[in-house]
Copies of this chain bind each other. A is one copy, B any other.
């Protein structure tokens, strides 16, 4: 049984509290209280609350940029898309505090704004690469302009689905089921797939419900 370092416990606890209560509603006192350490101790490890947020964001950022590094010329299958979406939604869910109060968080820690925008851009780019691969394989037919709109739509949905879902369906805030989000994403793509792939996509998406 390994003992977890306080510094890491602070990060873990903060993330959990941020996700469930919303970052703006979580005070440093609440964090230290939850961990049964003193507020002073917390500030020994992090010089400000913003630093905690920044470090959590950095982990998220790395994870995302890594995940979004879609190969340029690979033949991507529908199953791989499904897997990719699953991973994507899981990552977003794990750091949903960023998305839940996106505008607010980015406005208060403004160094994050540019970095987040970069992730967004890369995400849209990843969807464009995937669709490009589908097109090359004859799995998808779509016009350039529509494609661009679709990829933006996919990006938007991947950002906001889970907040939207928990808001409109009153799910508890602790566990977020990425399934419905993946389903929704596949629904968005399906109309532009060739008929064989449409069937396959429909079967696949149903598994996520």
Q: Is the CB of B188 within 8 A of A22?
A: no
C-alpha gap A116/B163 in the complex (Å) = 14
**Chain A: interface residue total (CB-CB under 8 A):** 39
Which residue of chain B has the shortest Cβ distance to A156 in the bound complex? Answer: B164
Contact with B along A11-40 (1 / 0, CB 8 A): 000000000011011000000000000000
Q: Is the CB of A100 within 8 A of B100?
A: no
Q: Is the CB of B150 within 8 A of A187?
A: yes
Which residue of chain B has the shortest Cβ distance to A99 in the bound complex? Answer: B103
Contact A149 B103, CB 8 Å, known A117-B168, A157-B156: no
Q: Is the CB of A187 within 8 A of B146?
A: yes
**Contacting residues, chain B, for A160 (C-beta < 8 A):** 156, 159-160, 164
**Contacting residues, chain B, for A102 (C-beta < 8 A):** 163, 167
A127 within 8 A of B: no
**Contacting residues, chain B, for A49 (C-beta < 8 A):** none
A87 within 8 A of B: no
- 26 chain-A/chain-B pairs, Cβ below 8 angstroms: A21-B107, A22-B107, A25-B107, A25-B108, A101-B103, A102-B163, A102-B167, A103-B167, A104-B104, A106-B167, A116-B167, A117-B167, A117-B168, A120-B167, A121-B168, A124-B168, A146-B187, A152-B168, A152-B184, A156-B160, A156-B164, A157-B157, A160-B160, A160-B164, A191-B191, A191-B192
Known: A101-B101, A116-B167, A159-B164. 20 other contacts (CB 8 A): A21-B107, A22-B103, A24-B24, A24-B104, A25-B104, A100-B103, A101-B104, A103-B163, A103-B167, A117-B170, A120-B168, A121-B168, A149-B183, A152-B184, A153-B187, A156-B164, A159-B160, A160-B160, A160-B164, A191-B191
